[in-house]
Structure 1
Amino acid sequence: MENREIVMDVHDKPKLAKWLTLSLQHLFAMFGATILVPFLTDMSQAVALVSSGLGTLAYLLITRGQIPAYLGSSFAFITPITIVSATDGLAGVMVGSFLAGLVYGVVALLIKVLGLNWLMRILPPIVVGPIIIVIGLGLASTAVGMAMNDPDGNYSTIHFVVALVTLSITILASIFFKGFFGIIPILFGIVGGYIFAMTQGVVNTSDLSASWNELVNSGSIGGFFAAFFQMPEFIIPFADFNPLEVFNWGIFWALVPVALVTIAEHTGDQMVLSKVVGRNFIKKPGLHRSIAGDGIATMIASVLGGPPNTTYGENIGVVAITRVFSVFVIGGAAVLAIFFGFSSIIVAAIESIPTPVMGGVSILLFGIIASSGLRMLVDNQVDLGDKRNLIISSVILVIGIGGAYIQITPNFQIAGMGLAAIVGVFLNLVLPGKESGYGNGSMFETPEEVVEKASK
């Protein structure tokens, strides 16, 4: 990482105008991805924004205001959420997400007591890399279906053209835009695709127009605020449903194993952020605190009806480019996200985004996720010529992408990514020659050693 001068340190507080501008940058960086997850899982995008903001504020509090990281909706949980939602509804998703958050807490406690090496033993690159590939490629058919089909599920040339234009804009923004603008290609793709979709008549703006007319005709300041703000569709446990009646082991096995993958991703994010900022966040405030903060953020989302949260690489990119490390800027972005979630006209604008636009950006985004799993194997120099590594990666990929499942009872199955993660961890622990699974790259060392080197 290029060692440039720090613009603002972790605890520096900017003046109000600059504070707002810098926080908006982080909001834009996370916005496209954060609203895409609830879009794909039929969850409330307004609740996702609010839970993202609240989760980030909780994370900053738990990490003692020492780590400038933003948390948004996690893509790793999309497929498990879809599976659970089909059988147990959104209530089942919330219960499973809460349990996944508890796993973060257990892992944080174990790291505090036992250190980090045990985590690296069960989640080496040969396990984590293929599972990340499964996350991306497992969603490929969803992205293509959104891009090609009309609301009735039939092939539509117009919709596919809108998706391809959106994809093209996103690619061009990724390749040719520099600095901060290069960090938000998804946002450019959504905005550009939305404008093109309007020219093709595939945007339904009735709700947006109604919200706008209500604002214009509010007649008073009080009326304006009443029209501008709306309560998101929160779903509260024990008020709207009884979690104890909803829980079953199928929910547990569909969602909880995914937490192991996102914890490994979280550890990688902390290593990168430590290198960017030049401080060892894994030692201070400690990986146990950051993982606990991530888990609390996911639990907050689950009790509101939002998708699980995770630290966002997009926002780490913003930190790296701007050299603004201030947690006050991150906190400001969180407050703005909450504000957006309560805004009727902003929510109406988000909900009017047509499916092919989201399908277009999803084609690239899900491919990038899969490629990042491949990159993990390459960066860590994992030898796939080694029979052990080839077996583990092959089994994980086919089980995960193929959608294999074990039916325990009529209402209890271990499926897809969760099963792939369990099988991958098991094979890694029982097959001889564990050292080869770490490769010859950075993850072969302990996280403390990696960050210690990166921080010098």
Structure 2
Amino acid sequence: MLLFGVQHFLVMAATPISSVFLVSSALQLSPSLTANLLSAAFVLSGLGSLLQSLGPWGIGARLPFVMLPGGAPLILFLSIADQHGLRTATGAVMITAVFYFVVLPLFSRLLKFFPTLVIGTMIVIVGVNLVKVGALLVTGRPGSSGFGEPLALLLGLATVGCTVVAYALLRGTLRQLSVLLGLLAGTALAALLGRVKLEATDDGALLHAPQLMPFGSPQFNLLASLPLLVYSLASMAEATGQTVINSEAVGKEPDARRDAPKTIRGDAVISLAGGFFGLPLMVTSGENIGIVRITGVRSRFVTVAAGLVLITVGFLAPVAWLVNAIPAPVVGGTALVVFGVITVLGVQMLGRSGLDDHTDTFIVAVALGLGLLPILVPGVYGHLPANLRILLESGVAVGAFSAAVLHALFHRTPWRTRTTTAAGTTATTGTDTGTGTGAAAAADVGEVPAR
């Protein structure tokens, strides 16, 4: 159980480390503040993983989830801190956490508009976005000095290769640990090539506990918090998709209306706590879902073990140094495998939703096109107003919203029900002048009986 927990930990540990160092470099924080935030990121990620996995009092979905800072919430946190100061940024995190609870009852009622077709579309977009994140860890960002460095590409592809070899040749528990073994093999190769560097994050102390309110007491500014409040709507949609796909990965009957609010409550509670320790919004991570599917280990107590490891690392400073020493291309190579699995899970969901229906194929095509646009073409909405840009640049939110609206338009509206029913009646009574049967004629125009 501990080994499986460590495997989850190593795959996702780069996220809190990179998030903290991004905050530190962008806001020019002192080494002591950096060490404090790093400790808090690990401890809160661990507590969030325990909460989501155990699910006490209806907070947490009782699924193998881990929680992390990073992503869009981190960028918004930095933007607010740059414009209004760190105290206002931490206050914005707390306001947004409370906003989750306020809007959740309304959001729960809207989940009926998120059938398998919509969730599957959302998961495909999430998977593609995550694959891109993993790829950038291998290649570096376009335009940077190290973009496409051959040695980095070698490390990333070698990590993928080692993972494949381990999965192909090993059996039993060792095969289930193939992701971890591939990561370790890639790190060993990086060490031989001189790409592993150990750097202490503070004064070299053995223990380090997170400090409460490291930037001082938070300041609450509703207007400054607006970008995070807008983003929270997209975050809830993404949490819904992750809850459904995680349920399927562990063999649990998915029920978004029952389980998604529990996941969102867990996000809200940990984000509120994280605000007191100077952290950006904490969200459930899709990274470990791919590990669950690859390994076949479905127990939520594996992520309980991962949560305990995270908390331990949060108090043991040298362990954080070791984890930070794993080169980004190695982590990216592992991420390509894990995130690719998430994309496949979304494709499987779409396959079960009946894509032989022309109307559903059209819905998915439009939603994928709109949702992938900001992912494949970064900055496409750069000239739009800031608050509108926040929503449109979230490909997951755009794809989910588009699929949900189109599905309701074609399958739930009264006029649609009457039209399809009338078409079916006409075909059945033989008044169609075509040569095909009524069912065939309906299929030709993409019509199906109202659902």
TM range (shorter): 0.5 to 0.7
* Runs of 5+ unmatched residues, structure 1: 1-21, 215-226, 437-456
Note closer, same or farther for the CA distance 1:126–1:296 as it changes in structure 2 (3 Å cut): same
Q: 1:308 aligns with which of 282, 294, 297?
A: 282
Which structure 2 segments of 5+ residues have no match? 24-36, 414-451
User: Is the contact between residue 27 and residue 333 of structure 1 (CA under 8 Å) also seen in structure 2?
Assistant: yes
SS of corresponding position for 1:228: coil
The alignment status of 1:349 with 2:322, answered yes or no, reads yes
Alignment-derived partner of residue 230 in structure 2: 253
Aligned equivalents of 1:132 and 1:96: distance in 2? 28
| 1:413 has 2:389 as partner | yes
The answer on whether the counterparts of 2:60 and 2:265 sit within 8 Å (CA) in structure 1 is: no
Q: Tell me which of 243, 253, 260 is aligned to 1:266.
A: 243
**2:343 paired with 1:373:** no
Q: For residue 88 of structure 1, what is the aligned residue in structure 2?
A: 80
After superposition, where does 1:103-252 map in structure 2 within 5 Å? 104-106=100-102, 109-110=105-106, 118-121=110-113, 123-149=114-140, 152-207=145-200, 227-232=205-210, 236=213, 239=216, 242-244=219-221, 247-252=224-229
Specify whether residues 370 and 314 from structure 1 end up closer, same or farther in structure 2 by C-alpha distance, changes over 3 A only.
closer
Structure with bigger gyration radius: 2
1:425 to 398, 401, 416: 401
Partner of residue 62 from structure 1, selected from 49, 52, 56? 56
Alignment map for 1:388-403 (pairs within 5 Å): 388-403=363-378
Q: 1:243 and 1:310, CA in 2 relative to 1: closer, same or farther beyond 3 A? A: same
Distance in 1 of aligned mates of 2:80 and 2:198: 32
CA distance in 1, matches of 2:173, 2:112: 33
Give the letter for the 2:157 counterpart: L
Going from structure 1 to structure 2, the CA distance change for 1:290 and 1:127 (only over 3 Å counts) comes to: closer
Deviation for aligned residue 1:174: 3.9
Query: Aligned letter for 1:31?
Result: F
Letter in 1 for 2:353: N
The separation in 2 between residues aligned to 1:420 and 1:64, in whole angstroms, is: 26
Find the counterpart in structure 2 of residue 35 from structure 1: 13
Q: Secondary structure at the match of 1:203?
A: coil
Native 8 Å contact 1:205 1:352 kept in 2: yes
Partner residue in 2 for 1:17: none
- Once the two structures are superposed, residues 270-304 of structure 1 have per-residue CA deviations (whole angstroms, 9 ceiling, x without a partner) of 4654x46xxx8969x97654542343234434543
Report sequence identity in percent.
Answer: 17
Contact in 1 for aligned 2:160/2:337 (Cα 8 Å) = yes
Q: Distance in 1 between matches of 2:139 and 2:262?
A: 44
User: Judging changes above 3 Å, is the alpha-carbon distance between structure 1 residues 320 and 68 closer, same or farther for their aligned structure 2 residues?
Assistant: farther
8 Å contact kept, 2:176–2:294: yes
* 1:244 alignment partner, SS class: coil
Residues 253 and 414 in structure 1, CA contact (< 8 A), matched pair in contact too: yes
Q: RCO greater where, 1 or 2, for CA within 8 Å and sep 6 or more?
A: 1
For the structure 1 residues 65 and 306, does the alpha-carbon distance in structure 2 shift closer, same or farther, using more than 3 Å as the test? closer
Q: d(CA) in 2 for partners of 1:235 and 1:383?
A: 55
* Matched position secondary structure for 2:66: strand
User: What per-residue deviation string (whole Å, max 9, x for no partner) do you get for residues 389-411 of structure 1?
Assistant: 43233222224433443755467
* Structure 2: distance between partners of 1:400 and 1:318: 25
Instruction: Give me the whole-angstrom Cα distance separating, in 1, the residues matched to 2:165 and 2:117.
Output: 33
| Counterpart AA for 2:118 | V
CA contact (8 A) 2:60 2:266 kept: no
Flag the 1:103–1:202 CA change in 2: closer, same or farther, 3 A: same
CA distance in 2, matches of 1:97, 1:379: 38
Say if 1:433 and 1:408 are closer, same or farther in 2 by CA, change over 3 A.
same
1:402–1:416 CA contact under 8 A, matched in 2: no
RMSD between aligned residues: 4.3
On the 8 A contact 2:93/2:228 being kept in 1, the answer is: no
* Deviation readout 1:244-270 (Å, 9 max, x if unpaired): 288343333345412212123214434
- Which whole-Å deviations, capped at 9, do the CAs of 1:47-93 have from their partners, x for residues lacking one? 3331122123444363479975343135xx85424642563359588
When the two structures are superposed, what TM-score results if normalisation uses the length of structure 2?
A: 0.68
